[in-house]
Amino acid sequence: MELIKSALKNSNGVGTNQQGKGPSTLICFSHLRWDFVYQRPQHLLSRFATMFDVYFIEEPHFDASNEPTLSFKLKADNLWVVTPHLPANTSKENSEKIQKTILDKFVKKRNLQDFIFWYYTPMALPFSRHYTPGLTIYDCMDELSHFKNAPKELIGFEKELFQKADLVFTGGHSLYEYKKDKHKNIHPFPSSIDKKHFEQARTIQEDPADQAPIGKPRLGFYGVIDERFDIDLIAQIAQKRPDWNIVLLGPVVKINPDTLPRHTNIHYLGQKSYNELPSYLSGWNVAMVPFMLNDSTKFISPTKTPEYLAAGIPVVSTPIKDVVSPYGDEGMVSIASNADEFVAAAERYMKLDKKKWLPVIDDFLSSNSWSITFMDMMKNINNTVKKKQALEV
């Protein structure tokens, strides 16, 4: 444990909240790794790091050769990714004990009122529930209990987290409707965009090296290829239009890669960094949201939908609730329930006059940004802190 002690000693945790009131240090407990797919947690916490010292605590890596260690990686000003490294044979019980020790050493001799505990996973409760920080926030970005291999304890832990939390955010409107009766201070914050980043796709001329040899027209998708991904739909589209090419970017997780369709016009190019995405998007004719309708997609709000649109790429999606409303209802995205509808919608988009279409899209997206989401969340945080402080007087 000596390396853990040293790392904790060297992270002073001095807050940088410019308001001078309320907590100044934010500790995030996440089931997602910072360097996996750049999405909601990264967009939000990189902005919260302008107001707080942010420590993003990942789930452990079981790769330590002997004693547990702890790594700190500075990802941006005031933002550290904290990763426990435990021996491969560490039991679940001992893993929780070690993480509790790490947290205890971090918090020791600090004023708990100076902390925000920000949860992306209720599974962090076993090693953090004994604390009552200045503010507890649950950013419920997905219905994790519906995902493949979800821990059986998750539902009970989430119920407990709702009781502990001062403030709850949800990752979309349908998830908000599902959860709204579970907490008195809950607010929907659906997926947003970094518009300038994805607008680069509109002017990039050069294809990435691995995409350049692929013929057009191209239908594209980026994201995690998992139990939500409609494998059969992709196979059917590829079969119906062998002259089209389907480009799929992203890691394959929780499903057997051998089950993926292997037609000559389907191209798996692997995971790409967030910074690389506009270059790939620039070479697509149509973007896809090809998710199945099942428990794992019932409440999702795919971030890629507004990102595709900001890139200037028309989108065809299966009828995911938070894509249908607002994007489908407003005519911004075509909704397709099967391969024939998907192909027909894509064919229409390939004839699209973008000079008329893009101004409509830009107007629709004008109030949609992660910075606006961050500022609105900060308003909720400040209001909640003020109410708590008033009750303590």
Candidates 88, 35, 310, 329; CA nearest to 199 is 310
The C-alpha R_g of the chain, in whole angstroms, comes to 22
Query: How far does Cα 138 stand from its chain's mean position?
Result: 14
Q: What is the CATH number of domain 2-191+370-392?
A: 3.40.50.2000
Report CA-CA distances (Å) from 68 to 61, 89, 106, 129: 10, 11, 15, 22
pLDDT tens for each residue of the chain, 393 residues long: 433 333 433 444 334 444 446 899 999 999 999 999 999 999 999 999 999 999 999 999 999 988 898 899 999 999 999 999 999 989 999 999 999 998 998 899 889 999 999 999 999 999 999 999 999 999 999 999 888 888 999 999 999 999 999 999 999 999 999 999 999 999 999 989 999 999 999 999 999 999 999 999 999 999 999 999 999 999 999 999 999 999 999 999 999 999 999 999 999 999 999 999 999 999 999 999 999 999 889 999 999 999 999 999 999 999 999 999 999 999 999 999 999 999 999 999 999 999 999 999 999 999 999 999 999 999 999 999 999 888 876
CB 75 within 8 A of CB 81: yes
Q: Does domain 195-365 have CATH number 3.40.50.2000?
A: yes
* Residue 13 confidence (pLDDT): 39
Which pLDDT value is given to residue 393?
63
User: Quick one: three-class SS letters along 207-234?
Assistant: CCCCCCCCCCCEEEEECCECCCECHHHH
Looking at residue 391, its pLDDT comes to 82
Separation in Å, CA 133 to CA 170, 255, 286: 21, 38, 47
Instruction: Kindly report the pTM of this predicted structure.
Output: 0.89
Q: Alpha-carbon dihedral of residues 231, 236, 241, 245, nearest 10 degrees?
A: 10
Coil/strand/helix, residue 57 = strand
* Separation between Cα atoms, residue 170 and residue 143, nearest integer Å: 9
- The full length of the chain comes to 393
Q: Are 352 and 314 in contact (CB under 8 A)?
A: yes
Q: Please list the residue range(s) of the chain that carry CATH number 3.40.50.2000.
A: 2-191+370-392, 195-365
Confirm if 312 and 361 have CB atoms less than 8 A apart: yes
Place of tokens 């997926």: 191
- Residue 15 to residue 26: CA distance in whole angstroms: 9
Q: Can you give the pLDDT at residue 3? A: 36
CA-nearest of 310, 290, 273 to 193 is 310
CA distance 220 to 109: 52
- Return the pLDDT at 102: 87
Looking at residue 21, its pLDDT comes to: 67
The tokens describing 2, both together, are 């000596």
Angle of helix 370-392 relative to helix 40-48, nearest 10 degrees, comes to 60
